[in-house]
Amino acid sequence: MPDWRRLVAEKLKRADLTTSQKNEVAAELAGHLEDLCEARRAEGLTEKRAIDCAMGDVPDWSELSRKIVRAKSKENEMNHRTKAVWIPGLISLTAASAVLALMQVWGLRPHIVWARSGLALLFYVPWLAAQPAFGAIGAYISRRNGGDWRERLTAGVLPSAAMVATFCVVACIEIAVNAITNGHEITLIGLSSYIVAWSVIPGFGLTLGALPFLRNVRAQEVH
């Protein structure tokens, strides 16, 4: 059997790729071509004919190599975003949600810090005070996973963004239900007060906790 990696490398000599990219593509295609060749051999073709058929299945080596590199780049980008944003952000969100749930289980009640015209801003003060810790958790894990400062900040404030999304979804459902049942309509001021109390103000705390982790650290501190 031929050296498939060598054959592929020969085809990629003029491709507009770096040496490392050519090596990656050659390794990727070698096994695939070998499988194709073995399939042709199983159909009764001679080894030379099977090799020619396998190689002939690739009409444009340069274009194929570019597609493989682009696909790998997108995959690497998605993996990086997952590690640098979504996993740290979800850990921060889970911590914030768990603490809030525990406070409710323990019977703590929110405090009214502002009230006017039937509207009020309610806060779980201990939960609000803990927001910097939640923001720090997300930003720290993101930094450990190689996130840049934007990704660290996003991971840190994700609980606040999730709360906004939750309120908007709930508001849309409530509007739809009230339209059907002729119930009490939710007001923009009422929705805004909830968003301010449960997202905007906690968001400042999350940001405050994330700030110390937005700067880069020495290379030996990162693994």
In terms of domains, do 146 and 208 share one? yes
Contact yes or no for 131/65 (Cβ under 8 A): no
Domain assignment of residue 35, given as a range: 4-59
In terms of domains, do 145 and 189 share one? yes
> What is the tens place of the pLDDT at every residue in 145-154?
989 999 999 9
Q: How confident is the model at residue 223 (pLDDT cuts 50, 70, 90)?
A: very low
In terms of domains, do 44 and 89 share one? no
In terms of domains, do 48 and 89 share one? no
β-pairing verdict for 119-123 and 111-116 = antiparallel
If one counts the domains in the chain, the total is 2
**Is there a domain that residue 78 lies in?**
no
pLDDT of residue 87: 95
Round to whole Å and give the CA distance between 69 and 13: 15
Does 115 have pLDDT greater than 90? Answer: no
**Is there a domain that residue 88 lies in?**
yes
Burial class, 201, CB count within 10 angstroms (exposed 0-12 / middle 13-18 / buried 19+): middle
In terms of domains, do 117 and 49 share one? no
**Is there a domain that residue 24 lies in?**
yes
**Is there a domain that residue 68 lies in?**
no
**Is there a domain that residue 70 lies in?**
no
Contact yes or no for 91/141 (Cβ under 8 A): yes
Q: How confident is the model at residue 219 (pLDDT cuts 50, 70, 90)?
A: very low
In terms of domains, do 51 and 90 share one? no
In terms of domains, do 192 and 124 share one? yes
What sign for the dihedral angle of Cα 92, 93, 98, 99? positive
**Is there a domain that residue 42 lies in?**
yes
Distances (CA, A) of 40 to 5, 26, 30, 45, 182: 19, 21, 15, 6, 70
In terms of domains, do 197 and 150 share one? yes
> What is the tens place of the pLDDT at every residue in 39-67?
888 888 888 888 888 777 777 766 777 77
CA 82 remoteness from chain centre: 4
In terms of domains, do 96 and 45 share one? no
In terms of domains, do 127 and 35 share one? no
> What is the tens place of the pLDDT at every residue in 155-188?
999 999 988 888 778 777 776 776 677 655 556 6
DSSP string, 100-156: HHHHHHTT--PEEEEEETTEEEEE-HHHHHTHHHHHHHHHHHHHHTT--HHHHHHHH
Contact yes or no for 64/17 (Cβ under 8 A): no
In terms of domains, do 91 and 161 share one? yes
In terms of domains, do 39 and 149 share one? no
Nearest to 36 by CA among 25, 52, 22, 24: 52
**Is there a domain that residue 74 lies in?**
no
DSSP string, 60-84: -HHHHHHHHHHHHHHHHHHHHHIII
pLDDT of residue 33: 82
**Is there a domain that residue 169 lies in?**
yes
Task: With residue 214 as reference, give the H or E element that holds it.
Answer: none
Contact yes or no for 201/122 (Cβ under 8 A): no
